Amino acid sequence: MFFGKTTRPVFILGCQRSGTTICQNVFLKSADCDVYREGNKKAMTDEWRLRDTATIRRLIRKSRKRVALFKPLNDAQWARRFLDGHEHARIVWIYRDPGDTANSAIAKWDSVQADIINTVGKALAQAGDAAGAARLLADRPGYAMYAEGIPAGAVERVIGWSREGLDAPSGAGALWWLRNQFYQSLDLNRDARVLLVKYEPFVTEPSAAVRRICAHMGIGYDDRLVADVHSGSVGRRPPPSMSASVAAACEELFASLDADWNGSLESGGGEAVAR
């Protein structure tokens, strides 16, 4: 039991198929964490969206652990709300090679992500902005969530992709770009409360990666946490062929995320917190 200090809320964010579940599961083994997975009805809706702030605050207050951990991937666009709406909040943002991410997404969902990008782009073209597009898609909540919060600078790119009529690999790459661009468009790369984690080193050198995450969260590290982490998914298949515009966007953002990640390693990564 943990008494005498405020439980810290931590939110694992990023793009689907980027290793967020592996990271979450690491902390199921930690005596310092209450973990609220995507299927947890207390914390998440039927659409795997995080419940309202008041509900999440109640869960945090009831916790007797150092950390209450949540994985609201479908709400990554609202990362600022998590940081500003919860005292002592931290974010762990995980990113993965776009080719491997796309391969994993296609294996799981086939062309669904392409349909999302094509549909959201058409709604953006009709409405002119993200809020309007989300309203147009209100009767399709699984699509509307991907229109939410898209910054003006990304709207035209998504519209252009929808006019291309993306196939499954290009759609998966476009969704990787759309979700990961929030890390920079929301200025999370300038916020010490946010720790950027690269998937490949996370699974190939898990001890070092999880030590960094534990330090960011303010909890202790134990080798048992990483006992089940393995690197078998890295580069398992060749990257899929994406359209030139999607491939260029992914390559540019991936390089920029790598630069941020390398910079965080040099600086020690994240804000120092008391245990």
Section 84-95 average pLDDT: 96
Alpha-carbon gap, residue 42 to 35, rounded angstroms: 11
8 A C-beta contact, residue 205 and residue 134: no
Regarding pTM above 0.85, the answer is yes
pLDDT, tens only, 54-66 = 999 999 999 999 9
Pairing label, strands 90-95, 8-14? parallel
Domain extent listing, the chain: 8-98+187-235+254-267, 100-180
Report the 10 Å Cβ neighbour count for 252. Answer: 11
Which CATH class name applies to 8-98+187-235+254-267? alpha beta
pLDDT band at residue 272, thresholds of 50, 70 and 90?
Answer: very low
CA distances from 4 to 7, 48, 63, 65, 66 (A): 9, 32, 12, 10, 10
Strands (E), the chain: 8-14, 33-36, 67-70, 90-95, 194-198
8 A C-beta contact, residue 267 and residue 215: no
| Average of per-residue pLDDT values in the chain | 94
Ranking 12-26, 38-52, 170-184, 229-243 by mean pLDDT, the lowest is 229-243
Indicate whether 270 pLDDT > 90: no
